Structure 1
Amino acid sequence: MVPTTRSVARMEAAAAAAAAAEEQNPDAAEGAADAAAVAPDAAAEGEASREPDEGEASREPNEGEASREPDEGEVSREPEAAEGSRAPGAAVAWRNPIVDAAQWAIVPYAEDIDQYLRAREADPRRRPIINYDQAIQRGNIRMNMRGTLVNWLVGVAFSNGIRNGAVHHAVSYVDRFLSRNAINRDNLQLLGAAALFVASKYEDIRHPKARWFSSITNDTYTTRQVVEMEADILRTLNWDVGSPTAITFLRRFLTTCCGGNRSRDRKLELMCNYLAELSLLDAYYIRFLPSIVAAACLFVAKFTINPKTRPWNLTVQRNTGYKVSDIKDCVHAIHNLQQADRNSNLKAVRDKYGILESVSIISSPQKITASFLKDLKYASG
């Protein structure tokens, strides 16, 4: 049985609450748990919230108004685990009983949620065109420009406390928009800023206002232009801004890989997030489904942290739904991307995760052990 829109909204919000608890972020956990209690029908479908400032973007035609704009100057709370400032090893014993209840609440629906997310990620209407730089943009927007834009988005988001998930969604919106609309290259940064504006609304109840997104472009674009581009994005995407990204699946996959060692779990999560954000910089990864990118990042992260231990076992295979052969091509690509990052001019991701437990400077063997790339043969793994 496929869950209803309302139940999916509640379950996804509950899952976010559970993720916040794992990240040892009580504020985010409480906010997510509150969202689970009141999630409206439109939430699961990713309806974007309305900007009430000057030059107000078009309202959604069918679903009505979305969430309220926060107070002036209010920015999102401290980002998720990959962006926390807690000292390594300083585990927090406190647990939120509301979040613990939310974790248990989603268990009966886990399979339905997974099927729902897999169906959404594979829907052609929600997939970008692999070669949109030539097919749609006719060379006016090149993929190296896209990389520069993503590098900028990662930097401004990290510097201003915007969540990882918002960056992943913003890049998805940019790719989907450019797969359908040709734009002037002078407006590429405007598209990126407006996409991050929409994504920050989707990811967090506390988010910057349109004026702030104008200011991060050094006022190259006005607040009205940001709001107008927001409206263009929403119309182009048909208000469907809730498609899953690699980070959506990573959050789910990581819950099956956590043991009792909190510091080791945190390092694995940060390494996965680092690799997933690296993949955003390169348009090559548009060809892979987000769940495949997430699984490949988990494989390479586990291999990097413990290169002598087989990254894939039957538990991971069962919970991700992928055999090694299903993700092998993406694993090689992610591993090569990790190796090449040290020489890249796009430094925002490397610098960010150089701060976060220095996972971006952890060396990975140049070659993955051949036996690790073979499917499991025996029930024992």
Structure 2
Amino acid sequence: NKHTNCRIYNIRIIYVTLQAVPNVQRNQLQLVGVTAMFIASKYEEIYAPDVGDFVYVTDHAYTKADVFQCEREIMSKLGFCLARPIPLSFLRRFVKAAHGTSKNHHLAKYLVDLSLVEYTMAHYRPSELAAAAICLSLHLLSGKKLEEVWTPTLSYYSGYSLEHIDPIIRKLAKIVVNVDNSRYKAVYNKYLDTSLAKVSSLHQLRGEAIYELAKIPSSS
């Protein structure tokens, strides 16, 4: 969980930085990326990597001084505030409210992880992503309708109606059915692990229900 949280913070820092400074030069994007990772690791990890490790990752394209300077600029843009909730903070609460299983939790985490690299999902609140992910997870694993799994209890604890999260659910479904065509397989491969219930290989992720939500004709 620590590594997952660190990755989520890393991506959020990059998004916020690029929104605050939209004209970042292309040759500086790698510096922003490794500096965001450096900041996230110091915030989230007990033993954070040394700044020299991040310089090494860039093949010494930047110096330690470059990373420290970029860190100061990013933290200034963030208002020196990193203590903001992430989707997983809400997901634990929603799974408990739904009396969900560990498989529900793993599948919802997989959906959240897939959404992190999709820029079209960047503007959604962490709580919205978590709510949509657990709703889709409950729907796929139970075979029940969305209206049945999104109970008044979940609506109360999340603060969202089904109508509110429905567009997000459909976007998540579209991301899932396009996984096979994606060049980025790291998240998919991660969730093939038995400790995560191999949720990325579930047959429900290639079934009629999710294709219907994504509005893509099923190949089966």
Change in Cα spacing, 1:222 to 1:366, as seen in structure 2 (3 Å) is farther
**Cα distance in 2, alignment partners of residues 256 and 218 from structure 1:** 47
The 8 Å contact of residues 165 and 248 in structure 1, kept in 2 or not, is answered as no
In the alignment, does 2:34 pair up with 1:193?
yes
Larger Cα-atom Rg: 1
Cα deviation per residue 1:187-211 (whole Å; 9 max; x = unaligned)? 2122111111111222233322212
The 8 Å contact of residues 339 and 366 in structure 1, kept in 2 or not, is answered as no
In the alignment, does 2:200 pair up with 1:360?
yes
Shift in Å at residue 369 of structure 1?
A: 10
Change in Cα spacing, 1:169 to 1:335, as seen in structure 2 (3 Å) is same
The 8 Å contact of residues 177 and 210 in structure 2, kept in 1 or not, is answered as no
Instruction: Tell me the residue number matched to 1:212.
Output: 53
**Cα distance in 2, alignment partners of residues 258 and 163 from structure 1:** 26
Q: Using structure 1 for the length normalisation, give the TM-score.
A: 0.50
In the alignment, does 2:108 pair up with 1:272?
yes
The 8 Å contact of residues 140 and 210 in structure 2, kept in 1 or not, is answered as no
- Opposite residue 7 of structure 2, the aligned amino acid is V
**Cα distance in 1, alignment partners of residues 132 and 61 from structure 2:** 38
In the alignment, does 2:18 pair up with 1:178?
yes
Q: Equivalent residues in 2 for 1:216-255 (5 A)?
A: 216-255=57-96
Cα deviation per residue 1:204-236 (whole Å; 9 max; x = unaligned)? 333222122222333333333222221111011
Shift in Å at residue 245 of structure 1?
A: 2.3
Shift in Å at residue 184 of structure 1?
A: 1.4
Correspondence for 2:184 among 346, 349, 373? 346
Which structure carries more helix by proportion? 2
Change in Cα spacing, 1:229 to 1:289, as seen in structure 2 (3 Å) is same
**Cα distance in 1, alignment partners of residues 189 and 5 from structure 2:** 18
Q: CA RMSD in A?
A: 2.1
Correspondence for 1:328 among 166, 191, 195? 166
Secondary structure of 1:345's counterpart equals coil
Change in Cα spacing, 1:253 to 1:184, as seen in structure 2 (3 Å) is same
- Opposite residue 367 of structure 1, the aligned amino acid is A
Secondary structure of 1:354's counterpart equals coil
Instruction: Tell me the residue number matched to 1:126.
Output: none
Cα deviation per residue 1:129-167 (whole Å; 9 max; x = unaligned)? xxxxxxxxxxxxxxxxxxxxxxxxxxxxxxxxx521111
- Opposite residue 168 of structure 2, the aligned amino acid is C
Q: Equivalent residues in 2 for 1:20-35 (5 A)?
A: none
The 8 Å contact of residues 168 and 247 in structure 1, kept in 2 or not, is answered as no
- Opposite residue 228 of structure 1, the aligned amino acid is Q
Shift in Å at residue 368 of structure 1?
A: 5.4
**Cα distance in 2, alignment partners of residues 281 and 333 from structure 1:** 13
The 8 Å contact of residues 108 and 134 in structure 2, kept in 1 or not, is answered as yes
Which stretch of structure 1 is more off in the superposition, 248-257 or 182-191?
Answer: 248-257
Cα deviation per residue 1:56-100 (whole Å; 9 max; x = unaligned)? xxxxxxxxxxxxxxxxxxxxxxxx2xxxxxxxxxxxxxxxxxxxx
The 8 Å contact of residues 350 and 360 in structure 1, kept in 2 or not, is answered as yes
- Opposite residue 348 of structure 1, the aligned amino acid is A
Correspondence for 1:302 among 118, 138, 151? 138
The 8 Å contact of residues 195 and 230 in structure 1, kept in 2 or not, is answered as yes
Secondary structure of 1:163's counterpart equals helix
The 8 Å contact of residues 91 and 131 in structure 2, kept in 1 or not, is answered as yes
**Cα distance in 1, alignment partners of residues 137 and 182 from structure 2:** 20
- Opposite residue 278 of structure 1, the aligned amino acid is L
Change in Cα spacing, 1:369 to 1:179, as seen in structure 2 (3 Å) is closer
